[in-house]
């Protein structure tokens, strides 16, 4: 982590299967920043999995825990953060994340997103129908909100997640104040 004034947070947003966590971990490794995943924070706070929270307590309770996680991470600086696909649908979450970070939308064709999701059992919103079809529906419903929240959009279709991570780092280097001085010089 930077010893100089930390940069702004890099926040990865987008649908399930966009690669937010994998890309986030890689970007954090390249910049030597901490990586935080709000789904993991929710699971830790609840003492169980995201799927279990949905099943036992419902989506409302999940969103409440998610908003609490967002509040905590948005108070930090110099982090790489992956938020769950629904987090920025709540304008309060979006406003808080944007106050301390730049939001990178990882987009992709529904088939490309679906192909990355091996474990649909852990995705409560992908139960009971073709993941690609459901993802197409969610992309139609959420696309405008994602685009409005995002500082930039990266299309992941046809790209490996390593390539996507490289693209995020390259973009970050062009953004004044996003990286700390030593990160930018590295």
Residues that bind ligand S3P (CB under 6 A): 16, 20, 39, 50, 84-86, 123-125
For the bound state, the minimum distance from the C-beta of residue 158 to ligand S3P, rounded and expressed in Å, comes to 20
Q: Which single residue brings its beta carbon nearest to ligand S3P?
A: 84
* Residue 50 vs 179, nearer CB to ligand S3P: 50
* Residue 69 vs 179, nearer CB to ligand S3P: 69
For the bound state, the minimum distance from the C-beta of residue 34 to ligand S3P, rounded and expressed in Å, comes to 18
Tallying the residues shown for the chain, one arrives at 186
* Residue 84 vs 110, nearer CB to ligand S3P: 84
The CA distances from residue 146 to 6, 15, 139, 141, in Å, are 26, 9, 9, 10
Count Cα atoms within 13 angstroms, Cβ side, for 55: 11
For the bound state, the minimum distance from the C-beta of residue 56 to ligand S3P, rounded and expressed in Å, comes to 14
* Residue 16 vs 23, nearer CB to ligand S3P: 16
For the bound state, the minimum distance from the C-beta of residue 98 to ligand S3P, rounded and expressed in Å, comes to 18
* Residue 98 vs 142, nearer CB to ligand S3P: 142
For the bound state, the minimum distance from the C-beta of residue 4 to ligand S3P, rounded and expressed in Å, comes to 31
């Amino acid at each position: 982590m930077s010893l100089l004034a930390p940069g702004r947070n890099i926040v990865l947003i987008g649908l399930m299967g966009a690669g937010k966590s994998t890309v986030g971990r890689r970007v954090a490794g390249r910049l030597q920043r901490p990586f935080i995943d709000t789904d993991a924070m929710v699971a830790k706070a609840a003492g169980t999995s995201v799927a279990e929270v949905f099943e036992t307590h419902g989506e409302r309770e999940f969103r409440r825990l998610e908003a609490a996680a967002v509040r905590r991470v948005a108070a930090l600086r110099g982090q790489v953060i992956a938020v769950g696909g629904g987090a920025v649908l709540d304008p309060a979450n979006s406003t808080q994340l944007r106050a301390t970070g730049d939001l990178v939308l990882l987009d992709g064709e529904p088939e490309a997103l679906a192909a990355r999701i091996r474990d649909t059992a852990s995705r409560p919103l992908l139960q009971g129908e073709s993941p690609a079809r459901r993802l197409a529906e969610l992309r139609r419903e959420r696309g405008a909100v994602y685009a409005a929240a995002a500082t930039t959009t990266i299309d992941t279709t046809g790209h490996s997640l390593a390539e996507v991570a490289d693209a995020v780092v390259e973009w970050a280097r062009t953004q004044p104040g996003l990286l700390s001085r030593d990160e930018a010089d590295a």
